[in-house]
Amino acid sequence: MNFSTPPSLGKLRLLVRPVLPLEGCLPNLPQPADLFSFVMSIAPDVIGDHSIQRSALPSVNASNLVPFPTVSVVIPVFNGASFLAGAGACARAQTHPPRQIIVVVDRSSDGTAQAAHSLGSAVEYIAQENHGPAAARNRGLELVQGDFVSFLDVDDLWPADKLAQQLNFGA
């Protein structure tokens, strides 16, 4: 897979070529060890019982598997306690689940810290002094582990397929 890294984004990578998921991406995909059996089971009438040999299938191993790209979601918050549960739910409900959700609380005084903690242990919570939304986004960027990053403002809601559509567009 070819990735390019813009200098300003450090370790974040931009996808240049489409990916093909095979192993570990979806729960019902066959594992490489039984790929031949899977192919034979889904198309016996097309393939026939003996018209394809196991050796005719391409070799599948860890070196030629390409996983789905991962996405980190950063939610900067200042006095947004009443919106945070909705934004967090939208991020968790994506059809392409994010690798991580980072909530950066920018010294709120309305109970935002408590609301962030109530999102559960799957959400990373960071508190900082009030330096504004740009500083909160930058702090979140420092913690990103995914291939891509997406910013979700605390008062916005996403459709469930937002990340999947953006990843498909980039492929």
Q: For residue 58, what pLDDT is reported?
A: 55
Confidence (pTM): 0.62
Burial 50-60 (b: 16+ CB within 10 A, else e): eeeeeeeeeeb
CA dist., res. 44 & res. 42, Å (int): 6
Domain boundaries, the chain: 20-64, 71-170
Residues 6+ apart with CB under 8 A from 42: none
3-state secondary structure of 23: coil
Show the tokens assigned to 144: 């990103």
What confidence score (pLDDT) does residue 141 get?
95
State residue 3's pLDDT score. Answer: 42
Q: Can you give the C-alpha Rg of the chain in angstroms?
A: 21
Helices (H) and strands (E) in the chain, counts: 6, 6
CATH architecture of 71-170: Alpha-Beta Complex (3.90)
- Model pLDDT, residue 93: 94
pLDDT averaged per 10 residues in sequence order, the chain, 171 residues? 42 38 40 53 51 52 67 96 94 94 93 89 92 94 94 95 87 59
The DSSP H or E segment spanning 150 is strand 148-151
Rounded to the nearest 5°, which phi and psi values hold at 35? -60, -45
At 158 the pLDDT is 95
